[in-house]
């Protein structure tokens, strides 16, 4: 095999359980041999992806001053907008030429975990774009549900209780992040020394889902 596996997860949403073991075996093999895999026939629609892309382009196209209204460096819970050159994943290299929007599981300011000052626990901070908050909060919940479905398939592969991960991902600290890489020639003076891209990816999460915006390759088109 010369490309990442493409796994049809439709059986995970069927009424019966006949297809679960086959999908679990495919995921198990992909994780052991590659560490990554594509999925197809998942419940996240192409319409949803188009809506997210449209809102992302609107947000990242705003003047910097407007985006900084939700400056992530002023958030105690790592929520909001990360300006270009805000992050420097490799201290030995220039800052990263990218801007980001981060959100997570929303907790109101009066939630016990927030009041206790637990890391990464707190309210999300959304830009003042019509329809943004409803769309992104729903997408976060839908992606969390998809992740839990994949984790249940992994429990089948591991031979452990089906709800093993369910009980450990209640009110998760999972992060949904959008990243915009602007053309280097458009970088401002403050970010002119920033690198074009981040270093080799190091994922510290249980499940990392990546959707490259604008990718027209045959594999991405096939997976939706």
Could you read off the pLDDT tens digit of each residue along the chain, which spans 224 residues?
578 999 999 999 998 888 999 999 999 999 999 999 999 999 999 999 999 999 999 999 999 999 999 999 999 999 999 999 888 878 888 888 899 999 999 999 999 999 999 999 999 999 999 999 999 999 999 999 999 999 999 999 999 999 999 989 999 999 999 999 988 766 555 554 555 554 444 444 555 555 655 544 333 444 44
Strands (E), 15-140: 38-40, 80-82, 99-104
Helix (H) or strand (E) holding 180: strand 175-180
pLDDT tens digits for 10-53?
A: 999 998 888 999 999 999 999 999 999 999 999 999 999 999 99
178, 56 Cβ separation under 8 angstroms: yes
Q: What is the pLDDT of residue 162?
A: 93
Rounded to whole angstroms, the Cα distance separating 185 from 179 reads 18
Per-residue pLDDT at 179: 94
> What is the dihedral sign for C-alpha 191, 193, 196, 199?
negative
Dist. CA 201–CA 18, nearest whole Å: 36
pLDDT attached to residue 201: 44
pLDDT for the residue numbered 205:
53
Considering Cα of 14, then 16, then 18, then 24, what sign does the dihedral take? positive
What integer pLDDT is reported at residue 222 of this predicted model?
Answer: 40
Q: Is the full-model pTM beyond 0.85?
A: no
Q: SS3 of 148, please?
A: helix
**Non-local CB neighbours of 26 within 8 Å, separated by 6+ positions:** 5, 7, 37
The residue written with tokens 């690198």 in the block is 195
Mean pLDDT, the chain, rounded, equals 86
At residue 24, the pLDDT reads 97
């Amino acid at each position: 095999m010369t490309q990442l596996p493409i796994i049809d997860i439709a059986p995970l949403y069927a009424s019966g359980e006949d297809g679960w073991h086959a999908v679990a075996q495919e995921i198990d093999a992909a994780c052991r041999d590659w560490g990554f895999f594509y999925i197809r026939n998942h419940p996240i629609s192409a319409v949803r992806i188009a809506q997210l892309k449209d809102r992302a382009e609107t947000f990242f196209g705003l003047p910097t001053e407007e985006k900084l209204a939700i400056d992530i460096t002023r958030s105690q819970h790592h929520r909001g907008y990360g300006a270009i050159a805000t992050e420097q994943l490799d201290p030995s290299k220039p800052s990263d030429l990218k801007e980001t929007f981060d959100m997570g599981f929303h907790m109101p300011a009066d939630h016990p975990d927030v009041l206790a000052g637990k890391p990464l626990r707190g309210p999300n901070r959304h830009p003042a774009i019509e329809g943004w908050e409803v769309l992104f909060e729903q997408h976060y919940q839908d992606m969390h549900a998809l992740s839990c479905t994949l984790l249940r398939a992994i429990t089948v592969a591991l031979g452990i209780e089906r709800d093993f991960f369910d009980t450990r991902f209640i009110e998760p600290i999972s992060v949904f992040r959008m990243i915009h890489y602007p053309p280097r020639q458009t970088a401002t003076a403050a970010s002119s020394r920033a690198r074009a891209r981040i270093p080799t990816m190091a994922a510290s999460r249980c499940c990392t889902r990546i959707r490259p915006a604008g990718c027209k390759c045959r594999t991405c088109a096939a997976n939706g």
